[in-house]
Amino acid sequence: MTTAPSTASSLVADRDWWRGAVIYQIYPRSYQDSNGDGIGDLKGITARLPYVAALGVDAIWISPFFMSPMKDFGYDVSDYTNVDPIFGQLADFDALIAEAHRLGIRVMIDLVLSHTSDQHAWFVESRSSRFNPKSDWYVWADSKPDGTPPNNWLSIFGGSAWQWDATRLQYYMHNFLTSQPDLNLHNVEVQDALLSIERFWLDRGVDGFRLDTINFYFHDRQLRDNPALAPERRNATTAPAVNPYNYQEHLYDKNQPENLAFLRRFRAVMDEYPAIAAVGEVGDSQIGLEIAGQYTSGGDKMHMCYAFEFLAPDPLTPARVAEVQHAFERAAPEGWACWAFSNHDVIRHVSRWGQDIADHDAHAKFLASLLMSLRGSVCIYQGEELALPEAELAFEDLQDPYGIQFWPDFKGRDGCRTPMVWHADEANGGFGESRPWLPVPAEHLPRAVSVQEQDMRSVLHHYRRFLAFRKRHPAFAKGEIEFKPYEAPLLGFHRTFGNETLFCLFNLSAEPVTAPRPEERLDVLGGHGFDSHLGDERITLPAWSGFFARLV
């Protein structure tokens, strides 16, 4: 095995670095094209790392860049230990790691362990017969006597979760596309193979993992039917409302107790290396927080998990914020959350929550500051720091099979995956010289990095200011949270760590408001970018703003 060469690093040795970290998610296809083929790549990411460092984040999370036929744009892996040629080669990844560490940035990579591509060598062998060494590496089952699938499980991308294979005369399970067969983690050989992949990337110098669909790893051995879900319990948290996936209670196709033992095995490998961390994505519309609690308990599984509560379309209100935070604390008293408002799978939050808000920038600044003030770690999705709105694409420009399947009621995920805009006056927003894989929206160009760099009042500069402000006060990263009894549109809470208690107050409205001055003595904090004011009796908060003080 070839490993990355040792390089000078400015990282501080801290096994607890992940607790309260701010992680910047990079979707490599759309970040920076370095070779003119219209697709972003690893060299492009490396070239832009100084920009990431200037934001002040602690780590980056890179979406999959492994060998793949790209039916699901990298989340269908055909070789876990090689870089797909469209993104570069292993040497480019080694160079990326070295530059990130030189700049003090940790690197987390996206591991998709629940399924592979149907072009993976494992699956090619598995489907070749019922009696080969890997015949049990995927989830195979006989049909019912009438030829229909083994049970009623549904794919999250629509239709049955079972696909007929004419060679084995059996069905194989796929929670996602038919070209993404599910691995059978009940087979210990499969677990061992996945742990060897984990070790391969740790040996190359990665600092941790984002684990895709972590609660999908195991299925019910008995293949029992999922029960129907009562209509009043349905929601669009993890799948769009038009998807019948929401009509079932997913008791048996995922969320199985056997996963806990595998996560302990995965954590044991990480613990052999210094300062490694993992965040798991929990996709469940009914018990997501409870699962996150299970997976982060005991200090022997995941370091942190995120569910979809703040990625869902539900309006962001003071009550909602407090409710989600309290629900996580109840479900995961030993656990640690990782919050995000946007990622590569959901409508960008400035559009999801701010479609009708006139002051787009003020709203974006407020949302960023609220996110980075909650208890937990934080994921920021590329372009969020520019307040990029969701792109409106024509049907003929769509690439996402999910959107093509459910168009026009659900337009898929391409609207949040359009290329990053670096220079307003360059072709394709500075993303690359050739036509990009997704079009660059004209409305994104005025929000390019080159434009916002010149305006100290821009959303980009606000992100930098608030990240720096957050680092000056460890209570934001590590502290407890206690909500205070304010009426909407105000949201107030204390963050306490050691001898420091911070008072945070937010105005979740488009109108200025005032609030009574607390009885505690306050040392007003500056440098956060808001023009709130503490008077003799009242606190004045402009629209979409925050107020911060230290209790003395």
CA distance 185 to 195: 11
Whether 139 shows a pLDDT value over 90: the answer reads yes
E-strand stretches of 246-337: 277-281, 304-306
Q: What is the mean pLDDT of residues 335-345?
A: 96
Whether 328 shows a pLDDT value over 90: the answer reads yes
Radius of gyration from C-alpha coordinates of the chain? 23
285 burial type by CB count under 10 A (0-12 exposed, 13-18 middle, 19+ buried): buried
Q: What is the mean pLDDT of residues 543-549?
A: 98
Q: Over pLDDT 70: what percentage of the chain? A: 99
Q: Could you tell me the end-to-end alpha-carbon distance of the chain, in angstroms, rounded to an integer? A: 56
What's the one-letter identity of residue 321? V
pLDDT of residue 6: 43
pLDDT of residue 7: 52
Q: Specify the pairing of strand 513-516 against strand 59-62.
A: unpaired
Whether 50 shows a pLDDT value over 70: the answer reads yes
CA distance 214 to 499: 37
Q: Which residues are catalytic?
A: 212, 272
Answer yes or no: are the C-beta atoms of 367 and 317 closer than 8 Å: no
pLDDT of residue 486: 96
Q: Over pLDDT 90: what percentage of the chain? A: 92
Each residue of 238-293: pLDDT tens digit?
Answer: 888 999 999 999 999 999 999 999 999 999 999 999 999 999 999 999 999 999 99
Whether 549 shows a pLDDT value over 90: the answer reads yes
Answer yes or no: are the C-beta atoms of 115 and 174 closer than 8 Å: yes
309's tokens: 């509560």
- Please state the φ and ψ torsions of residue 48, each to the nearest 5 degrees: -95, 5
The residues, ordered by sequence, that sit 6+ positions from 83 with a Cβ below 8 Å of its Cβ are 42, 65, 66, 67, 89, 90, 92, 93
Question: In whole numbers, what is the pLDDT of the chain averaged over residues?
Answer: 96
Q: What is the mean pLDDT of residues 136-150?
A: 98
Global pTM? 0.96
User: Element (H or E) spanning 515, and its range?
Assistant: strand 513-516
pLDDT of residue 45: 98
pLDDT of residue 1: 39
70's tokens: 């790209």
Task: Please work out, in degrees rounded to the nearest 5, the angle formed at the alpha carbon of residue 89 by the alpha carbons of 84 and 90.
Answer: 115
